[in-house]
Structure 1
Amino acid sequence: MAADKESTQRRVYVLPTELVDRITKFQADMQLPSEVEAARRLLDEALKHRDDAEAITRRFLDRLKETRMMSDIAKDVLVGHPLISSLKINPGSISFGMTTGDQVTVFQDGTASMVDRHKRPFSINADGQITNDEVPF
């Protein structure tokens, strides 16, 4: 219970009545237990559409620090994400492609390699730093 309290914050927002009506309709349609849960899910889904390869990769790497079960992390972070177009689970790594054309491989050791839509390679090392892997001409 204490861990749950540390990972959540209570906020109060003033919303237009029409927006609240839409949230409660979503709650009823999805048979969710509370209006708060409905708002939480709607916000999470909307914010996922703003993600980029780096944000998703960092979310995955942050979770990898908590648990070493890469398949569980993939289920929580990648499966069902609106910008993930492909997912491949390999021994020691997980690769995913995005609708943007970015390709990412996350490794069990807490590092990742990315190739963006322009075919530029990048890496995230174990310290969380991004390095450009492009070889100078």
Structure 2
Amino acid sequence: MAPSKEQTQRRVYVLPTELVDRIVAFQAEKGFPSEVEAVRKLLDEALKSRDTDKTIIRRFLYRLEKLRLPTEVAKDVLVGHPLVTDLSFGRDHIKFTISGYGVYRISELGQVDYYSSSHKRWDPWTPDREAHSEA
């Protein structure tokens, strides 16, 4: 589904012919209805690979403020993300693992905790917490 008009910006980029040919081939291979949709998908996947725990969690919380449905937000932000290696749904939270960062859970109200394997407990997560792998 394409984003609404209010959430989009029109941009024009000049690309090498070889790159355009690769985009068109990707579009045909994956069955996207337009080159624009193919480019959106390619850009989204490339940018996801640059994400950190902070960017993923901030994106989740931003979407949760708007949607108020954690399962829908998880579908949009976490499912299929190349860094999310595990995802489960609890009664009042969503738990997920971010490769290279650790295990997190987010409540329906937006409370974020991370699992401290060294302390064997859940601790509150803050964006300024040092990122390091505990997975």
Q: TM-score, normalised on structure 2?
A: 0.82
Deviations 1:15-70 (A, max 9, x none): 11110000000001111110011000000011110011111111111111112211
Counterpart residue type for residue 89 of structure 2: I
Moved over 4 A (4+): 115-119
Distance 1:103 1:10, change over 3 A: same
Partner of 2:59: 59
CA RMSD, 1 decimal? 2.4
Partner residue, 1:39: 39
* Structure 1 residue ranges without an equivalent (≥5): 125-129, 133-137
- Larger relative contact order (Cα-Cα within 8 Å, sequence gap ≥ 6): 2
Aligned residues: 125
The equivalent residue for 1:127 is none
For 1:63-84, what per-residue CA distance to the aligned partner results, in whole angstroms no more than 9, with x for missing partners?
Answer: 1111221111111111111111
1:135 — aligned with what?
A: none
Which deviates further from its counterpart, 88-97 or 105-114? 105-114
Q: Could you state the TM-score of these two structures normalised by the residue count of structure 1? A: 0.81
Q: Residues of 2 paired with 1:34 and 1:90: CA distance? A: 38
2:111 aligned with 1:91: no
Alignment of 1:1-137 (within 5 A): 4-115=4-115, 123-124=125-126, 130=127, 132=129
Q: Quick check: 2:53–2:101 contact (8 Å CA) kept in 1?
A: no
SS in structure 1 of the partner of residue 11 of structure 2: coil
Distance 1:117 1:58 in 2: 23
CA-CA distance at 1:116 after TM superposition: 7.7
Structure 2 gaps, min length 5: 130-135
CA displacement at 1:114 relative to structure 2: 2.8
Opposite residue 93 of structure 1, the aligned amino acid is H
Counterpart code for 1:123? W
Instruction: Percent identity, please.
Output: 48
Shift of 1:11: 0.3
**C-alpha contact (below 8 Å) 1:122/1:131 kept by paired residues:** no
